[in-house]
Amino acid sequence: MTRTSNSITRETAERIRLVIFDVDGVLTDAGLYTGATAKGEPFELKRFDIQDGVGLKMLKWAGLSVVLVSGRVSEATSIRAKDLGIDGCYQIPDAHKLKVVRKIIDEREIGWDEVAMIGDDIPDLAVMRLVGLKAAVANATEPISSIADWQSSRAGGHGAVREFTDELLRARGELDEVVEKYVLERSAT
């Protein structure tokens, strides 16, 4: 059983300046496709949800900093971060995320209460215990869902991130404005 609700308070939302996204299990469905080329070169593929990507961009359009923090090193993650113009993509072998996130927060001169994170499993736990807004995907493990302030109705890699970004922007009173700005910029002749 979780202690979450489907809304984020305006006070909490307005305090957020940095949003951290886990990758595997949050931006993806946690599946990996691995193989090798005819020459024996290994490769890895991941499935990312396009609407989640728009949600990340919407946060940036609203002036929030967006970073990816993954416990695995993957070229697929680097490619997706570059495609989206993400502020920072940190891939930490063996999921030692806390040290990296502390450095990010110190460099940006913000407090833990100004940080939101969405995660799914225990590699996210050390960071999530400290942030001001803890979000979880619907299929998060119990250690994450039990501390989450908000939890999606969708699974990771299947629209959970977009659900979160929309709710965060809605709570800040900025969702409609960001959507209209996007539409107007692309409607100009």
Please report, for the domain that includes residue 171, its CATH number.
3.40.50.1000
| Overall average pLDDT of the 98-125 stretch | 97
**Domain contains 147:** yes
How many residues in total does the chain contain? 189
pLDDT tier at 188, thresholds 50, 70, 90: confident
**Domain contains 2:** no
**Domain contains 85:** yes
Q: Does 187 score more than 50 pLDDT?
A: yes
Structural domains in the chain (count) = 1
Residues 6+ away with beta carbon under 8 Å from 123: 22, 71, 95, 97
Q: Does 182 score more than 90 pLDDT?
A: no
**Domain contains 3:** no
**Domain contains 108:** yes
pLDDT at 2: 42
**Domain contains 5:** no
Please tell me the pTM assigned to this model: 0.93
**Domain contains 163:** yes
Q: If DSSP codes are grouped into helix, strand and coil, which group holds residue 42?
A: strand
pLDDT at 5: 57
| Overall average pLDDT of the 92-103 stretch | 93
Quote the domain boundaries for residue 63: 10-187
- Percent over 70 (pLDDT), the chain: 97
Residue 15 Rama label (left phi>0; alpha psi -120 to 50; beta): alpha
Write the single-letter amino acid at 78: S
